[in-house]
Amino acid sequence: MTAQPSDRNAFLAELSATDYELFRPHLTSFALTVGERLQDLGVPVEQVVFPHGGLVALTMPLRSGGGGGAILVGRDGIVGAVGAAATAPAMSDAEVYIGGRGARISASAFRYVLDQSATVRRLAARYAAALMVQAHQTALCNAAHPVEARIARWLLEVVDRSGGFDVPLTQSTLALMLGVQRTTVNLAAGRLEAAGVITCRRGYMRILRREQLERHACECYRNVRAYVSHVHAVPAAAAPPAPVAEVLARKPA
């Protein structure tokens, strides 16, 4: 039974009323501010964050000052759940890229709730699986796909979470997420712009033809989307769905 409003974080919205009551006393609402760090690689996780909106990027830093390999978390995900559950250090940096609202709970309270409910544990494991599939797919994507296809994928990933057709990210931010030079993003995005798929403005990009952008995107976009949809296809309390391979093997329409 889904008892929570749909404008909340998807994980919280998916909880039954009983399970939500386990969380409620420990949850604090707060503003996700652009540039805010929610966790740092290697530092013990002290909080679990449930974004209601906005966008958080999980990235791996480099000693040279750069970084990349971003995984995006919006209202469809959780930040810090695995580290908190395992009492382990953060597996990546987490930084707010698009502002919004969120709720947070201390890591110890999160572990307490997990101990109380098998359905919450199962649901949290599903969100962790969704995060892992993004990580795996992104590693493959960075190694195997041209930069334009990766840009198209990220633009779709961002608007899927932020809504609308505008991507309020600079090309420098996109370059950081993709682990490439800003010049590379400018030139590759310029090719998409010349094809009439997007427009680039100072501080944001606008998607003009989403279907064409999906055609430019690599298979990674569809694969992650199919997996995540599949994982969330049935309530956590229900029997497991059909094998995931069937979903991933389906050819796009």
Partner 1 sequence: MPLYTFELQDGQHPVGDETGVWFADRERALDHAHRVARELMSAREVQTRTWRLDVYEDGSRVEQVPCAHAQLPQSDPADRRGTLLRHIERFQAGHVGGAGDHAGIAGAGRAFARQTVSGDGRWQTHHGRQLSIAKML
- Of the candidate residues 42, 44, 89, 146, the single one contacting partner 1 (CB under 8 A): 146
Q: Identify the CA nearest to 232 among candidates 123, 71, 119.
A: 123
Tell me: does residue 66 bind partner 1 (CB under 8 A).
no
Q: Residue 103 CA to chain centroid, in angstroms?
A: 16
Residue 42, by phi and psi: left (phi above 0), alpha (psi -120 to 50) or beta? left
Comparing CB distances to partner 1, the nearer of 18 and 181 is: 181
Comparing CB distances to partner 1, the nearer of 143 and 239 is: 143
Handedness of CA 118, 123, 126, 131 (dihedral sign): negative
Least distance in angstroms from the C-beta of 216 to partner 1: 13
Q: Concatenated DSSP letters for 74-105?
A: STT--BSHHHHHHT-B-SSEEEEEE-EEEEEE
Tell me: does residue 145 bind partner 1 (CB under 8 A).
yes
Tell me: does residue 147 bind partner 1 (CB under 8 A).
yes
Tell me: does residue 111 bind partner 1 (CB under 8 A).
no
Least distance in angstroms from the C-beta of 55 to partner 1: 23
β-pairing verdict for 55-61 and 67-73: antiparallel
Least distance in angstroms from the C-beta of 95 to partner 1: 23
Taking CB under 8 A as the binding criterion, the range among 2-10, 108-116, 145-153, 207-215 that sits at the site for partner 1 is: 145-153
Give the footprint of partner 1 on residues 167-206 (CB under 8 A): 180-184, 186-188, 190-191, 194
Comparing CB distances to partner 1, the nearer of 125 and 200 is: 200
Q: Residue 30 forms beta bridges with which residues?
A: 102
17's CB contacts (< 8 A; 6+ apart) are 1, 3
Least distance in angstroms from the C-beta of 228 to partner 1: 24
Tokens in use for 86?
A: 């395992």
Q: What length does the chain have?
A: 253
> How many amino acids of this chain bind partner 1 (CB under 8 A)?
16
Least distance in angstroms from the C-beta of 205 to partner 1: 14
Distance CA 70, CA 79 (A): 13
- Of the candidate residues 86, 88, 144, 233, the single one contacting partner 1 (CB under 8 A): 144
Distance CA 153, CA 240 (A): 29
- Give alpha helix (H) positions in 90-199: 107-116, 118-144, 147-162, 171-178, 182-194
Tell me: does residue 209 bind partner 1 (CB under 8 A).
no
Comparing CB distances to partner 1, the nearer of 73 and 141 is: 141
Give the footprint of partner 1 on residues 31-50 (CB under 8 A): none
Comparing CB distances to partner 1, the nearer of 1 and 143 is: 143
- Chain residues that interact with partner 1, rule: CB under 8 A: 143-147, 180-184, 186-188, 190-191, 194
